[in-house]
Amino acid sequence: MNRSMVDAIAAEAFSLLGTGRQTASFSPRYPDLDLPLAYKVASAVRGLREARGERVVGRKIGFTNRTIWDEYNVDAPIWGWIYASSVHEANDLTGGFPLSDLSEPRIEPEIVFGLCQTPKPGMDGSDLLGCVGWIAHGFEIVQSIFPGWVFTPADTVAAYGLHAAMLMGPRRTMGEDREEWFEALSTFEIDLLRDGELVDHGVARNVLDGPLHALKHLNDLLARDSSFPPLAAGEMVTTGTLTRALPIAGGQSWSTRLHGVDLSPISVRFC
């Protein structure tokens, strides 16, 4: 019964990709859907996407910002796959980023790590930083295929981890000053602006006490679950929103200001 349920949910979720359409949340319709089964759905959706030529390039960690857990009725992070087709360089989006194929999109300013070495199980944040080849700041665009953003954690895992796109800022190659990076990644602050007006402010510690802590959480989680491959060199990992996830619409321009970390701000217009 669970196999047929997994296949049915995966087929429905896959059919909604890139359409902007929504559906009723899965959990009320499939009472047996829990997080372990939802991750099996995510794997089935990955298989369908790869069958049509998409390529996995990393993972996203969601709900790392504990200040928004009550808003979304969650109590722990989730993770999902990132595909080459969903990653875009922000500086190349001269005509704007289109939203017409997304459902209730929202914006999340995040820190992104590019792994140059495969992390070992149990590594702490400092050790994990040694596995990072580059760091960037970017916007993850998330969406909900469930009207009104009403879902359970299992629903979000089945629905691609809510991931729609990653709009990347310039990558900073890691140098020898890793101690400075470690300190900055625990203490920096960020302003989120819409059309030049400040709409939210975030701090590094919002993300499980810092983006490196979010990376450690995922590394530890995967080490305990042999159902999925561990993190590996060459992957990118997005670490979760530093502010609230705010609704976006065509015609708006969104930008950031970063304080206390040597990363470039980012600016994107939506159409």
Averaged pLDDT in 10-residue chunks for the chain of 271 residues: 90 97 96 95 97 98 90 90 97 93 98 97 93 96 97 96 97 84 94 98 95 96 91 97 97 98 95 97
pLDDT at 56: 98
Residue 253's CB: how many other CB atoms inside 10 A?
13
Query: pLDDT at position 28, please?
Result: 95
Q: At what angle do helices 35-51 and 2-16 cross, to 10 degrees?
A: 50
Contact 82, 166 (CB under 8 A): yes
pTM comes to 0.96
Tell me which residue of 219, 112, 85, 244 sits closest to 171, measured CA to CA: 112
C-alpha closest to that of 82 among 255, 246, 239, 268: 239
In whole angstroms, what is the distance from residue 158 CA to residue 174 CA?
34
Residues 6+ apart with CB under 8 A from 102: 20, 141, 143, 164, 165
Q: Cα(132)–Cα(128) distance, rounded to whole angstroms?
A: 7
CB 266 within 8 A of CB 138: yes
Distance CA 76, CA 143 (A): 19
